[in-house]
Amino acid sequence: MKIRSIVLAFGVAGLVAFVGCSPAPKEDRNSNSTDSNATGADLEIPEVSLDDAEVSSIDDADVQGAVTTAAVDDSPSEAELEADEATVTYPVTSELDPVEVELGAAELTAGIPGDGDLSNEAIEEWLQNPENHRPIQPTLPLGLSAAASNIQGLDANPMTKAKIELGRQLYFDTRLSSDNTISCASCHHPDFGYAKDTQFGVGVQGQEGNRNSPVSYNRIVSGPQFWDGRADSLEAQAVGPIANPIEMANTHDVAVQTIKGIPGYVMQFDAVFPGEGVNIDNVGKAIATFERAIVTSPAPYDYFEQVTSIESSWGDEIDELEEEDPELFAAYTTAVEGAKAMSESAKRGRDLFFSDKANCTACHAGANFTDELYHNLGVGMDADEPDLGRFVVTNDEKDKGAFKTPTVRNVALSAPYMHDGSQKTLEEVVEWYAKGGHPNDYLSDKMKKLDLTDQDKTDLVNFMKEGLTSDFPKVEAGRLPL
């Protein structure tokens, strides 16, 4: 039998009942049973497969206590049952015509209009508007747009404004963690290029694994997730950290019960997932949808390419562009302006990046500057027990020490670098490539010693810093339901 979720309570009585349902207080937890000597890979692998029972056995009795309390709180009061009868119906996505929206638009990620904590009235008004439930056919900003054919996951999990907004709230909500201190944003924060400036992700009670937090933008054009690609989809990835003992250290059950205790969330889940409401899969779907909406806007490099392409097709007649094709001329003018952030050094760096001499596009290829494949550069391979990366997933010898090629769009914003956060600056990364990586039995055959002058190295760095840095969409980091 499917357990019914708490549906929006309209009456004051219902709201009062919910107030008592606040998530577990911040308390001193003493879950130190996690083996801190285990490798990050060991600890991280269970993220996708561990069921809650296993996780709670790792954790202390506290969590069990929370489960019991939450379970009791879940039994609906009479007022809630009454409210349930009176549940409003919201516009249904499958009955609405789709609309095309370019990702990056502030309207998608800037939060429900208004300031401060989200009142149920503001949520209600938002949910009543059919525009927020209309299926979105996303288009990508200039530059990333060349990867449009790689857009993933929308058939199984259609995008709507209401779902993006729900995912945004969950992404920034520390109440999903066992002690209310950690959210997704703790390790993937907009202020740190959707990553974090620490070497490793730092979770509940300061626990660390041995992998660096990768970026959580441009996920819409990416397939399997994690440095080793062990999560098949963004949805599968998104629910992992909640139950990961060294990240948010919660259980899926407790997280779901916590959400069910927050009326503003219950209203949104009921509206966004009609007939289903709050469950862990829908938490994953909402968060994944928010992540898909976070894309990099056109970078100076993208404008530079556009200028080059327009100038080469118009040649000597570029002076006539304004008269002949005013629309293209407008785009050209914008592009000329946008490309200005690229110095001569960055332009030389661009040429190098795409050349055989530096060989970067052997792996950082395509609109998102990644082949989405796994390569061994030798990073961390000098350790006594190296992190074997992709090998742990495939058991294929050739994958030992191989990690997924990360995007280098906006890479200047997310130091430190590499799967183990071992390289602090882009200068250091370029030196790594110049020396051909670290020799080991499994080194990628695409890694070779490069013949680069100091100027070449500076140019490559400047290309990444000046050419590939662009704005993120405007994102509201607060404004959560009480």
The residue (of 307 and 408) whose beta carbon lies closer to ligand HEC is: 408
Letters for 324-343 (x = contact with ligand HEC by CB under 6 A, - = none) are: --------------------
Is residue 257 close enough to count as binding ligand HEC by CB under 6 A?
Answer: no
Which residue in the set 134, 188, 347, 465 belongs to the binding site for ligand HEC (CB under 6 A)? 188
Is residue 359 close enough to count as binding ligand HEC by CB under 6 A?
Answer: yes
Spatial separation of the C-alpha atoms in residues 60 and 435, rounded to whole Å:
47
The residue (of 7 and 447) whose beta carbon lies closer to ligand HEC is: 447
Piece of 21-29, 50-58, 99-107, 241-249 that binds ligand HEC (CB under 6 A): 241-249
Spatial separation of the C-alpha atoms in residues 460 and 480, rounded to whole Å:
41
Spatial separation of the C-alpha atoms in residues 430 and 412, rounded to whole Å:
13
Letters for 78-117 (x = contact with ligand HEC by CB under 6 A, - = none) are: ----------------------------------------
Question: CB 47 → ligand HEC: shortest distance, Å?
Answer: 8
Question: CB 43 → ligand HEC: shortest distance, Å?
Answer: 9
* Location of structure tokens 């392409």: 309
Question: CB 216 → ligand HEC: shortest distance, Å?
Answer: 4
CB 457 within 8 A of CB 427: yes
Is residue 31 close enough to count as binding ligand HEC by CB under 6 A?
Answer: no
Is residue 217 close enough to count as binding ligand HEC by CB under 6 A?
Answer: no
Is residue 227 close enough to count as binding ligand HEC by CB under 6 A?
Answer: yes
Piece of 30-38, 62-70, 274-282, 373-381 that binds ligand HEC (CB under 6 A): 373-381
* DSSP count for the chain of H helices, then E strands: 21, 4
What's the distance, Cα to Cα, between the start and end of the chain in Å? Answer: 30
The residue (of 206 and 315) whose beta carbon lies closer to ligand HEC is: 206
Spatial separation of the C-alpha atoms in residues 77 and 341, rounded to whole Å:
60
Spatial separation of the C-alpha atoms in residues 376 and 400, rounded to whole Å:
7
Three-class DSSP category at 195: strand
The pair of structure tokens assigned to 232 is 């098949």
Spatial separation of the C-alpha atoms in residues 437 and 402, rounded to whole Å:
12
Contacts to ligand HEC from residues 269-288, by CB under 6 A: 287
Non-local CB neighbours of 164 within 8 Å, separated by 6+ positions: 108, 109, 289, 290, 292, 293
Is residue 238 close enough to count as binding ligand HEC by CB under 6 A?
Answer: yes
In 3D space, the residue among 190, 169, 170 whose CA is nearest the CA of residue 248 turns out to be 170
Which residue in the set 111, 153, 214, 481 belongs to the binding site for ligand HEC (CB under 6 A)? 214
Cα separation values, 167 from 128, 201, 217, 288, 356, Å: 18, 21, 14, 7, 42
Question: CB 411 → ligand HEC: shortest distance, Å?
Answer: 5
Is residue 362 close enough to count as binding ligand HEC by CB under 6 A?
Answer: yes
Phi, psi of 241, rounded to the nearest 5 degrees = -55, -30
In the complex, which residues of this chain contact ligand HEC (CB under 6 A)?
44, 182, 184, 186-188, 201-203, 209, 211, 213-214, 216, 219, 225-228, 237-238, 241-242, 247-248, 287, 291, 358-360, 362-364, 375, 377, 379, 403, 405-406, 408, 411, 414, 417-419, 426, 429-430, 433, 444, 446-447, 460
